[in-house]
Amino acid sequence: MSLINYSSREINCKIVYYGPGLGGKTTNIQYIYDKLAPDTKGKLVTLATEMDRTLFFDFLPLELGEVKGYKTRFHLYTVPGQVYYNASRKLILRGVDGIVFVADSQDSRFDANIESLYNLHENLKEYDLDLTSIPFVMQWNKRDMPDAVAVEELEEELNPEKYDSFEAVAIKGTGVFDTLKCVAKNVLRQLQAA
Amino acid sequence: MVRAEWAIFEEDYWAINNALEDLLHSSHAQNILLIDRTGQLISQAGEQVNFDLVSFASLCAADFEANYQLAKLVGEKDFSTLYHQGAKESMYLGKIVRGVVLVVLFDKRTTLGLVRLRVKRTVEELEIIIDGLYDKLEYRNEEYDDFDDSFAQEAEAEIDNLFVE
């Protein structure tokens, strides 16, 4: 739920990175954090287990600068991917303005992608939302893996609605900013006069 | 019409700030924050803090939300207040309406009893302001809706500038 403060002239928007466990959601956020200039980013908050698995969420605030006199901020969140952390995932989706689905291209994770996408639909329903009403971008991550499924096949199975999609190798940064730019622009377009 | 589900207008912002300032003084707290349930900081009153307020607000919202789910599991509608006690610093969180949460940071200069008492009154005040604000959003004045094509163009240019490797 984007918040516009007309008095302090601020706009805050929430973007959530969703997807199966170990798919690279945190890696996306970590790369963004590492590459951005210090004055444009806040502290990266990570609530992770000792094994570096996301327990609750990662959080990174980004400051876009002033747009027509409004200080514009994006709050990036990741959700924990493991199936049994659904309660946490649901919490993070509250008030979401844009979603990036980080799919794992590996053949062995194909079913995990389908399950996570289904779970996203189910959780959005609880907030009376669906992907037609929220900016949604698909990221095909881990394109460098030897058993990566062909993009055409991923598109056919996971993205029949033809949402914007990007190939990525998040660990090297490939496709990370393209994905973020796309979802950020779509979120701000939603603020425009309908 | 702007799609944002909620917005704060000038007069409400000042009314909120006045309520927070009053609470700050009457409760002898160090800091008061008003956040929404998505983790966005709405306003703040009190001393300069030496930690990241944006992250703090996000974690407070997560804390409140997690406790809301815990309440449901044990058969409660919600836990309307939360209290975290530290050796020196403590926190008191209170639910307002529409998913807005009041966070009070305090130390030994005051007591939990006084904070709780003063928060109660402020919550009532803030509920009136926030409810009024939502009413306004339903019948909003067009003069506030200045997010046109040029806004999107400027925003997109900023995004291209910022997100470069």
What's the total number of domains in chain A? 1
Query: What pLDDT score was predicted for residue B38?
Result: 82
**A190 interaction partners in chain B (CB closer than 8 Å):** 3
Structural domain range at position A93: 3-191
φ/ψ of residue A111, rounded to 5? -65, -35
- The predicted structure's pLDDT at residue A194: 40
Predicted confidence at residue B99, as pLDDT, reads 85
State how far the Cα of B36 lies from the Cα of B40, in Å rounded to an integer.
Answer: 5
User: pLDDT (tens digit, 9 = 90+) per residue, A55-98?
Assistant: 788 899 998 888 888 888 999 999 988 887 888 888 889 889 99
pTM, two decimals, is: 0.84
Whether the predicted pLDDT of A13 surpasses 80: yes
Indicate whether A193 pLDDT > 60. Answer: no
Q: What is the pLDDT of residue B81?
A: 92
Rounded Cα distance, B28 and B33, in Å: 14
Using the Cβ of B74 and the Cβ atoms of chain A, whether some distance falls under 8 Å is answered with no
Q: Locate tokens 């983790």: which residue? A: B39
Closest CA to B35 of B55, B9, B18: B55
Instruction: Kindly report, residue by residue over B58-116, the tens digit of the pLDDT.
Output: 889 888 888 988 898 899 998 989 999 999 999 999 999 888 999 999 999 999 999 99
> Is A42's CB within 8 Å of B69's CB?
no
Q: How far is the C-alpha of B129 from the C-alpha of B120, rounded, in Å?
A: 15
- Cβ of residue B63 closer than 8 Å to a chain A Cβ: no
B142 touching chain A per CB within 8 A:
no
Q: What is the pLDDT of residues A101-157, one digit of tens each?
A: 999 999 999 999 999 999 999 999 998 999 998 999 999 999 999 999 999 999 999
How many other CB atoms are there within 10 angstroms of residue A130's CB atom?
Answer: 12
Judge whether A145 and A90 are in contact, CB under 8 Å.
no
Domain B10-162 CATH superfamily: Dynein light chain 2a, cytoplasmic (3.30.450.30)
Among candidates A67, A87, A94 on the partner chain, residue whose Cβ is nearest the Cβ of B158: A67
* pLDDT for the residue B2: 36
DSSP A76: E
User: How confident is the model over B45-66, as pLDDT tens digits?
Assistant: 998 888 888 888 888 988 888 8
Question: What pLDDT sits at residue B4?
Answer: 52
Is A7 in contact with B10 (CB distance < 8 Å)? yes
**Those residues with Cβ within 8 angstroms of residue B30's Cβ, 6 or more apart along the chain or in another chain:** B46, B47, B89, B105, B106, B107, B109
Domain ranges of chain B: 10-162
Which CATH number characterizes residue A63's domain?
Answer: 3.40.50.300
Partners of B164 on chain A (C-beta within 8 Å) are: 177
